[in-house]
Chains A and B, each alone.
Chain A
Amino acid sequence: MTDASMDTPTPRRKKISLVADDARTKKRNKAEKRFQAYGIGAIAIGLFFLLVLATSILRSGIPAFTTTVVSVEFTLQQEEFDEAEGQLFKTKAYSNYFISALQTTLTEKGIKVSFDEASIERVMGKIGSTLREHYSASPDTLGQPVDFSLGASSRVDGYFKGRVTREGLQDSRFLTLADLDLVDALAEAGIITTTFDWNFITGADSGVDNPGGAGIGASVVGSFFMMLVVLFLSLPIGVAASIYLEEFAPQNRWTDLVEVNISNLAAVPSIVFGILGLAVFIQFAHLPQSAPLVGGLVLTLMTLPTIIISTRASLKAVPPSIRDAALGVGASRMQSVFHHVLPLAMPGILTGTIIGLAQALGETAPLLLIGMVGFVARGYPDGFISGFIDPNSAMPAQIYTWAARADASFYEKAWGGIIILLIFLLTMNIIAIILRRRFERRW
């Protein structure tokens, strides 16, 4: 840049018409379009992933809510009962009666299919012992038609839900191709049907060997007790901490330390909270393993930063003029906060709390370490207090347990469990949104 260059006359831009784009503008507009397309592409990718996620949850999860049942009407006469009881292999005798009755029913409906005791056992389990147990327990039903409703075996269930196909099936001691002919015949006769599986929603977990009987009910209860602990600890502590930090804390190093601490805790990996729970609550304080109380305590510590951050934001949103007004009529600072600021900030606080709870409800990693995973919750807790301290599972932990089992039929249960978990989360978030919409105040 020399002065000499300044002497040259200023090179004015070539006069160009506004209505015709020059080459450079065309090029720039193309770049603009391209850039915009990247943005649309990014959004589309995000939405595409969401769609894939939603479809795979629904497609794989919905079958968990249905189960395949075999319902047969069967009549056993008194003399048949006596005869069967007189034999050496009693259950085999019952099976034989059942098979011949079934054969008759099918023939009446004009369906021809051949089967033996072994294939019946593969399709619907050991029918003989079921019958014997029933008639030994209630002999008065002898001679009358009784409806037997039996769960189909897991593989037959899979056949109806598309998990098992004729093409992919290899004859094994669990199921053969011939059995599928029988299953088709029974389905045609209306003996095998698919019904809604209430047991999945209300039942408890089953062992590794019985995927059909597994239910999520007990772990919903476990999660419920955990959320009670989280709610009743994190809300008061979180609000108290926020009030102090936002309204009363002097600006000093201690306050700075607490603030830095909270923002860091919010980003500490959840598994570290699991380690904390293991070391402090189980190793040190000897609280029971797998208990919702311990899970709740760990999740409380994890949720606190979230609640504190959102509560402080709501407190900050209340304008200082409200505080001044209260102080102006002679209220103490404490009174101005508790009588005026806190009620005004309450909708925001509750919204933040619900969102924090929803996060805690879906959290799995810390529960792995305090023993809530792998535990087979076979039943409901038998009281309110034992609900907190008896070992139980929680929804996400139960889902993980199922996903980690070797039998692929449990995967379906895991997806089904996810649907239930997401329904809870969705409900909580909708409540939060409604609260926010209804009570949000703009100053």
Chain B
Amino acid sequence: MYDVPNTEINVEQRDIKISARKVQVYYGTTHAIKDVNCEIQDKTVTAFIGPSGCGKSTFLRCLNRMNDTIDICRVEGDITIDGEDIYDKRVDPVQLRAKVGMVFQKPNPFPKSIYDNVAYGPRIHGLARNKADLDVIVERSLRRAAIWDEVKDRLDAPGTGLSGGQQQRLCIARAVATEPEVLLMDEPCSALDPIATSQVEELIDELRQEYSVVIVTHSMQQAARVSQKTAFFHLGHLVEYGDTSKIFTNPVDSRTESYITGRIG
């Protein structure tokens, strides 16, 4: 069913899921992302690191066109998913976002019941034929987000009543319930305590079995723990991109080295 034969881009051991070429992002007159080229692999966790305001979150939001909701934001260059340009005029961002799910910095459960939070995506995308289907999807998603055991007895309780870590895992369950192919995570642990963080990190590692995960993080330890690939952003440039082990042990660029050793940032 692929329009583009994927053998051509299958250069490494895994498929290239997302490919970005010469991406420029402007906020009004500010040039926020400068000439970024990047290829993100399937079934891999890719971490974006860099100092605050370096553009890593902006770039992440380009990948599912969340920037469309900001009026003054303008994106140039090509970003393709499975070979299809996501900024093509014919692409419906709604369909794109179903394919590229997102988890946000602050847990943002809807003020609805836990069940309805998870069922929201499947409902709007028509993934369930009946209530039983939906029940299955909700349970599977909650199990996958490792929160099922904590909430199975109170699926009708409001999602806002959970603790921070539970809320974030609920948001992850909500995102995986739509069966995305890519999962974008914007500093998913920054609002969480260490225990909740480790739970979410474990979860990310498991999610790698089925999805391509892109995670923005401020914590270099976290990047080292969960990712296989790391991209270092600085002042809107993608400075260095490669295997996580290589970036953290033997960086090529001096700026990367300064950052991971704590001299800039």
Contact = CB atoms under 8 A, between A and B. Distances in A.
Interface of A: 1, 5-6, 10, 12-22, 24-25, 28-29
Interface stretch (B80-88, B188-196, B218-226, B246-254): B80-88
A1 B84 contact: no
Which 8 residue pairs are nearest across A and B when measured between Cβ atoms? A19-B90, A13-B179, A18-B84, A1-B139, A18-B91, A1-B135, A15-B1, A5-B136
B118 to A, nearest CB: 12
A360 B92 CA distance: 52
B95 A18 contact: yes
Contacts of A16: 1, 95
Interface string B1-20: 11100000000000000000
A25 B2 CA distance: 19
Given A18-B95, A19-B88, A25-B95, A13 B127 contact: yes
Contact of B99 (A5, A18, A24): A18
Contacts of B179: 10, 12-13
A17 B3 contact: yes
A35 to B, nearest CB: 13
Interface of B: 1-3, 81, 84, 86, 88, 90-92, 94-96, 99, 124-127, 135-136, 139-140, 143, 179, 210
Contacts of B90: 19-21
B94 A25 contact: yes
A167 B140 CA distance: 81
Contacts of B140: 6, 10
A21 B3 contact: no
Nearest to B210: A10
Contacts of B210: 10
Nearest to A23: B126
A153 B124 CA distance: 71
B114 to A, nearest CB: 14
A187 to B, nearest CB: 59
B63 to A, nearest CB: 13
17 contacts: A1-B135, A5-B136, A5-B139, A6-B140, A6-B143, A10-B140, A10-B210, A13-B127, A13-B179, A15-B1, A16-B95, A19-B90, A21-B92, A24-B125, A24-B126, A25-B95, A29-B92
A10 B99 CA distance: 16
Nearest to B178: A13
A28 B91 contact: no
Nearest to A5: B136
A1 B136 contact: yes
A29 B1 CA distance: 24
Given A18-B91, A29-B94, 4 more contacts: A12-B179, A18-B86, A18-B92, A18-B96
A13 B179 CA distance: 7
Nearest to A32: B94
A97 B205 CA distance: 113
Contacts of A20: 90
A393 to B, nearest CB: 51
Contact of B124 (A10, A13, A28): A28
A150 to B, nearest CB: 65
A21 B1 contact: no
Nearest to A26: B92
Nearest to B143: A6
A12 B143 CA distance: 16
Contact of A28 (B84, B86, B94): B94
Most buried by A among B88, B95, B210: B95
Contact of B2 (A12, A15, A22, A29): A15
Given A1-B139, A24-B125, A19 B91 contact: yes
Contacts of B88: 18-19
Contacts of B94: 25, 28-29
